[in-house]
Amino acid sequence: MSKTAFVFSGQGAQFAGMGKELCLCSKAAEDVFKTADTLRPGTSEQCFTADKGTLSETLNTQPCLFAADLAAAGALREAGVTPDCLAGFSLGEIPALAFGGYLTVEDAFTFVCARAKYMDECARKFPGAMFAVLKLSDDAVAEIASEVKDAYPVNYNCDGQMVVACGANSADILAEKVRGRGGKAVRLAVSGAFHSPFMDGAAQKLRRDFKDLSFKTPEIPVYANVTADIYTGADLLFRQVNSPVLWKKTIHAMRKAGVGTFIEVGAGKTLCGLISKTVPDAVVLNVEDKKSLDTTLEVLGNANR
C-alpha cells in the first residue's frame, strides 16, 4: 500500500480569511489558533480578516501561514488521517517540524516569529526580488544567474520552473536575460531575496538566539529543504534560511520512499501544481477550508474501500 505525505504551504500562498472555516469545523484547528494567539496576540484575527497586503508583509505572513498550515494538518489528523512523512516548502518546514514532533508547537511558533523578524530586517537592509523562471532548464537558469550580479538560484520547484533571488538593482537585468533566452520571468509577491546570501544575517541571528534549541524524538519524519533527505538535526533549520529549497529533489525522494498520495495543508494549491508536474502518477490533494477537507476525506475514504 502506498504511503501518504502532508506537505506544508510556503510564503506567497497566503490569502485573506485563511484558516477561518477550518476553525469552525475542527477543534484541532481552533486549538492551533488559540495557541498562536497566546504567543502572538492577534494572529487569528489577521488570518481571518486582514487584507492581502497586510498578510503579505513578512512579519505577518510567516506566523499566520504557520498557524493556517498547522491547523489544516490538525484537522486532517482529527478526522483520522495520519501521514507517513512530511515536508514543508520554506516557511512550511517549521509547522511540519511541529506536526512531526521534532519541536513543540510553542517552540516552533516562537522560532517562526523570530525568523520572520530577522528575514524582514535583512530584506529591508538589502532590498531584493525573487522571480519564478519558467520554460528553461535548471542549467540554463543557473547560467543566467551566474551572469547577473547578486543573483542566485534558490528554489528548485519542478522541471521548467526555478526561482531566482537577486538584488533589487539586478531585477530588471535578470528578467531581460531570461526573456532573451526564451524564458519567462514572473516576479513573486515577496519582500526580499530569500534563501540566498542576502539572508546570511538572519541565519546568524537565529543560530545565536536558538543555540539551545533541541529536537525531540520525532513521531513522523520530515524531509529537509536543504538536503532533500530526512532531518538529522537543528542545524538544518538554521541553514534553511539562506540555502536553496530542493523541492523537486525532495518530492522525488518521497516518491522513491513509497509516497503515492501528497496532501498540501495550509493555504492555496501551489505545491499541488509542482508535485503534479514532478510525479504525474501521484494522487495530489489539498486542505485549506471545509470544502477541500471534505473532498480530501472523501477521496481517501473511497481509496480505502
Joined together, the cell numbers standing for residue 190 give: 515577496
Active site residue 26: no
Active site residue 214: no
Q: Which of 9, 44, 195, 196 is catalytic?
A: 195
Q: Which amino acid is at 33?
A: F
Q: Which of 90, 191, 196, 243 is catalytic?
A: 90
Angle between helices 270-278 and 247-256 (to 10 degrees): 60
How far, in Å, CA of 3 to CA of 46, rounded? Answer: 35
Vertex 119: Cα angle to 113 and 121 (nearest 5): 105
Q: Which amino acid is at 32?
A: V
The secondary structure of 93-158 as a DSSP string is HHHHHHHTTSS-HHHHHHHHHHHHHHHHHHHHHS-EEEEEEESS-HHHHHHHHHTSTTEEEEEEEE
Q: Which residues have a catalytic role annotated? A: 90, 195
